[in-house]
Structure 1
């Protein structure tokens, strides 16, 4: 392996970072503040490696470093860190895929070291143990898509090593407008620098990253600079937040989450025993859509017999007691389900992945203290990502790599109207943006990958969402896996997902949506 570091020439930065997709210029609080934030030259670390992916042995170049994004005044306002994997001596118009995770506020570490990159982190496939303490295990990843496409992992501002510079502030990019403009501009710069304007282009996002992919596709299709896309890979989609927000008075969410509760209850032996999973979940979908939804609309107007029927069916699908379902007024919030399902064992199931179960000290709490599916794996990913960047890719940065920033909390601005304009808060929804992008680009295809045990973005919500908003059905494929939000943590799901990825890129992926 050969490794080197260099500072990008200032002339190239100015030429390449013209604000085609730039966010509004950020105003510092004082002149002193602006002076205290110098703009260091971006750095890039390059190295050459070899590996076998999809059965093909190849040499590839890695470019891990910074790209400056200009504000409206033409001066750098943000520095995005990315890791690009580029096949050497490739022939023809080789595809390039831009990859990001979600949060918002998450770095790209999960898709990078869990599914797509040339290395992957090993964790317990069956979700039956946590990652413990170092040393952890990093494996070669022959399932990486490098045989099919070049890969560019993007860390949005405030995550990884990415940050605001100059007059910019992190919060200027913690919104759809700021996030979308900076990443679209990064993509424009990257394809220009690498002479890939005429290459097939894909976006791969997970969770909020699918929301980002939808509004990026819309922005890149309808904006001043038209960058056409060939495909969107949407892992654990979150286009309409009404269907993935378990909260009181959000009646829609009780319906969308019910089949996922049934999947988890069956997995843990609390419901559906002896019934094939496909049959049990088909029944759960039908009940949620045809009986449970109408019953929720009737509310207190349900007759005694109707209420008893709905209660008993909820018991059948969720494995919870009739008493608990009654006390919940037939409305079971997902965080409560996580705590209640295995309460008799003193365990709380995970939110990212309902297969996980954590032992918590407070066995009478209403909801879990944390997410077992997160704390069972996070240390391994964080440690090995830092080790990999330093030891394998030769990255030398003077600041920590932020896996999850405060943008993942209350710092993100979900307002979708300019300041000063009337705005009535509503659920985030990128469904119409995706529909517009797909109708203006008739070659754009979308693939939605769902985990049965995803307790955050339920698979039934994905089915309902993609049946609405005028999204062209003939260009959508949907598939399902025996895992959760990050279904690739399960080895069998990883194999199936990798095979489906290759099928999507070759146009051979079959839609698995139920009739």
Structure 2
């Protein structure tokens, strides 16, 4: 839900209804639905299948299973997490010459059902393009755009989400509860989560003899935050050089977030980088005073205004005179469709929830957040901000039902277990110890230094950035801004590539964009896998 404290609103990046709303439901369930003894050892189920990708058949082996992560230092023998994965290996290929991509959603604390069933797994759930998908039965089809043509795939559920579970092995209930609290404190945070994923990846490389394979990270939303942290850990703590990092719907510096920006007065950057997405959304819904002929030339114009006249006006603060404020409001009206009087009353600062509520307010319609192409009836027409995300409500049930059926029927895993969309997180520690820092910094999370350090210590590392024009959870221009402010030498900027799509946060929810996403990522892997280059 939108009406949450800023830290929680930022945390709920993967689904508009929010991880913390889902957590309340999980807390009513048993803390674990699998015997503790079973969590203490790896599990696996192997099956086989065939997927046809853009006309070419690929035979694969699928492994659904768990790896057990342990502590460090004096707790290195102490099991802490049973981490679930679904891996797909192309048959008949030498593993050392086959790329492998580790894939995860965000949350933080989300299961990786979205990328698995919507983007790159061998099966894809069918959802309506920009409207509510009707209730079950849902369609599950061959995924013509699975990434298995370019790479083996490992979909990973975050600790506590999906079939992943934190492990408390104390027998006494009181000690067990204390141990579980300690587990959450260790793992549910930027740094703990990053180290858990890095440990999982190195264990996986050993288990499946993939140390010499070309290696990639693919994260979505908070998963991009995680990828920056994990890339640095792998590169500089585990001596694992990555071939590439693929970022979808990026947020590395949380001061760029348009969610709850009003709670952080004096930091006007979110309004600047969010404006182009407002413009794209108004264009899509035909709410502009004058409809441009094409989207992208229009967005380039808006981006220029955002970085110059608009940014300058916001920086002036109370020094901005009335005439200039009125002039800027007029330009904002031309680019967003919002009334001039509303923009002036908002002091030229409209955050995401306000925009989603106001753009189609004349019809008591709320605009989507994760994908602003979606719309739905406003829960409260008199509210200041939107109170739910129509896009999340439109497609979540399809993904959940399809995966629960698929994992048990096709992958033969999960009988007697609950698949949790989100981990049971009471508090996520956003403080982060950046490379070179002596302590965790009490500020808005910023992992740009992590990715920058990984790129500088591995100057061959390539980064591929992808985003949707209609994403208000992580606006595309915010990601563009972050990349152009990375603390790296100018010579390394050439290692970053950009791709934008006429879709939202879940770019793949739009089928034409899914095809483009697949083709761009497959090309990126082919250009960077170094196979045959040594």
Class of the TM-score when normalised by the shorter of the 2 chains: 0.7 to 0.9
Match of 1:184 in 2: 198
Instruction: Select the residue among 395, 414, 421 that pairs with 2:430.
Output: 414
Match of 2:405 in 1: 387
Q: Deviations over 1:97-131 (max 9, x none)?
A: 00000010111111101111001111112x0x212
Alignment of 1:221 onto 2:238: no
Match of 1:99 in 2: 103
Q: Deviations over 1:336-384 (max 9, x none)?
A: 0000000001110111000000112421111112101101000000000
Give the deviation of 1:277 after TM superposition.
Answer: 1.1
Q: Secondary structure at the match of 1:314?
A: helix
Q: Distance in 1 between matches of 2:127 and 2:519?
A: 20
What is the correspondence of 1:258-269 to structure 2 with a 5 Å cutoff? 258-269=275-286
Higher mean C-alpha displacement, 270-279 vs 368-377 = 270-279
Alignment of 1:85 onto 2:98: no
What is the correspondence of 1:46-125 to structure 2 with a 5 Å cutoff? 46-72=46-72, 73=75, 74-91=77-94, 93-125=97-129
Q: Distance in 2 between matches of 1:192 and 1:305?
A: 66
Higher mean C-alpha displacement, 475-484 vs 237-246 = 237-246
> Is the CA contact 2:111–2:158 (under 8 Å) kept in the aligned structure 1?
yes
Match of 1:21 in 2: none
Q: Secondary structure at the match of 1:308?
A: helix
Instruction: Select the residue among 250, 262, 284 that pairs with 1:237.
Output: 250
What is the correspondence of 1:101-500 to structure 2 with a 5 Å cutoff? 101-125=105-129, 127=130, 129-165=131-167, 166=169, 167=179, 169-223=183-237, 225-246=238-259, 247-248=261-262, 249=265, 250-271=267-288, 272-407=290-425, 411-417=427-433, 425-471=442-488, 472-500=492-520
Give the deviation of 1:470 after TM superposition.
Answer: 2.5
Q: Deviations over 1:150-187 (max 9, x none)?
A: 00000010110101113553443111222111111111
Which stretches in structure 1 are left out of the alignment for 5+ residues? 1-35, 510-515
Q: Secondary structure at the match of 1:49?
A: strand
Match of 1:11 in 2: none
Q: Distance in 2 between matches of 1:428 and 1:240?
A: 6
Give the deviation of 1:46 after TM superposition.
Answer: 0.9
Q: Distance in 1 between matches of 2:41 and 2:204?
A: 17
> Is the CA contact 1:390–1:396 (under 8 Å) kept in the aligned structure 2?
yes
> Is the CA contact 2:42–2:67 (under 8 Å) kept in the aligned structure 1?
yes
Higher mean C-alpha displacement, 67-76 vs 338-347 = 67-76
> Is the CA contact 1:54–1:145 (under 8 Å) kept in the aligned structure 2?
no
TM-score, normalised on structure 1? 0.87
Q: Distance in 2 between matches of 1:487 and 1:306?
A: 37
Provide closer, same or farther for how the CA distance between residues 37 and 119 of structure 1 changes in structure 2, counting only shifts above 3 A.
closer
Provide closer, same or farther for how the CA distance between residues 424 and 200 of structure 1 changes in structure 2, counting only shifts above 3 A.
closer
Give the deviation of 1:508 after TM superposition.
Answer: 8.9
Provide closer, same or farther for how the CA distance between residues 275 and 346 of structure 1 changes in structure 2, counting only shifts above 3 A.
same
Higher fraction of helix: 2
RMSD: 2.0
Q: Distance in 1 between matches of 2:475 and 2:337?
A: 18
Q: Distance in 1 between matches of 2:357 and 2:190?
A: 33
Q: Secondary structure at the match of 1:105?
A: coil
Provide closer, same or farther for how the CA distance between residues 376 and 171 of structure 1 changes in structure 2, counting only shifts above 3 A.
farther
Higher mean C-alpha displacement, 246-255 vs 148-157 = 246-255
Match of 1:3 in 2: none
> Is the CA contact 1:346–1:360 (under 8 Å) kept in the aligned structure 2?
yes
Give the deviation of 1:507 after TM superposition.
Answer: 2.1
Give the deviation of 1:413 after TM superposition.
Answer: 1.1
Q: Distance in 2 between matches of 1:110 and 1:305?
A: 48
> Is the CA contact 2:283–2:292 (under 8 Å) kept in the aligned structure 1?
no
Provide closer, same or farther for how the CA distance between residues 40 and 302 of structure 1 changes in structure 2, counting only shifts above 3 A.
closer
Q: Deviations over 1:199-247 (max 9, x none)?
A: 1000000000001011100011111x21110001100011111112431
Give the deviation of 1:56 after TM superposition.
Answer: 2.8
> Is the CA contact 2:367–2:376 (under 8 Å) kept in the aligned structure 1?
yes
Give the deviation of 1:279 after TM superposition.
Answer: 1.9
For these two proteins, the number of residue pairs brought into alignment is 468
Q: Secondary structure at the match of 1:439?
A: helix
Give the deviation of 1:411 after TM superposition.
Answer: 1.9
Q: Distance in 2 between matches of 1:185 and 1:41?
A: 16
Give the deviation of 1:417 after TM superposition.
Answer: 5.0
Give the deviation of 1:42 after TM superposition.
Answer: 2.8
Structure having greater relative contact order (Cα 8 Å, sep ≥ 6): 2
Match of 2:8 in 1: none
